[in-house]
């Protein structure tokens, strides 16, 4: 089984409402900075800003960018997500 490319994973996460809430909660300045964009484009812009990249494709080519993605976004999102209330359980 092959692992999906990190750039693809970042794009898929950008379509996830929980991930966008995580970005807004944890990176409010960056989230506000890109407020004129649609949600998925806004998420992509925040990912690029947080990771210090110009394109998500750099996540697949630049190991330092990939590490920043994991340490600033991927792992923290996984830690953040279980603590959030599930709106379908309310």
Between CA 77 and CA 90 the distance in angstroms is: 22
Amino acid 2: pLDDT: 45
Which sequence spans correspond to the domains of the chain? 6-81
C-alpha distances (whole Å) from 10 to each of 27, 83, 86, 89, 90 are: 16, 21, 22, 27, 29
Across 15-35, b (16+ Cβ under 10 Å) vs e yields: eeeebbebbbebbeebbeebe
| pLDDT range class, residue 1, cuts 50, 70, 90 | very low
Interval 41-60: pLDDT, tens: 999 999 999 999 999 999 99
| pLDDT range class, residue 72, cuts 50, 70, 90 | very high
pTM assigned to the model = 0.85
CB 80 within 8 A of CB 26: yes
| pLDDT range class, residue 88, cuts 50, 70, 90 | low
Between CA 16 and CA 11 the distance in angstroms is: 9
């Amino acid at each position: 089984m092959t692992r999906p490319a990190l750039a693809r994973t970042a794009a898929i996460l950008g379509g996830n409402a929980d991930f966008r809430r995580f970005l807004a909660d944890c990176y409010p300045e960056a989230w506000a900075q890109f407020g004129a964009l649609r949600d998925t484009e806004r998420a992509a812009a925040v990912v690029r800003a947080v990771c210090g990249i110009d394109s998500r494709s750099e996540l697949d080519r630049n190991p330092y960018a990939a590490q920043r993605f994991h340490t600033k976004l991927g792992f923290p999102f996984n830690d953040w997500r279980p603590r959030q209330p599930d709106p379908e359980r309310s």
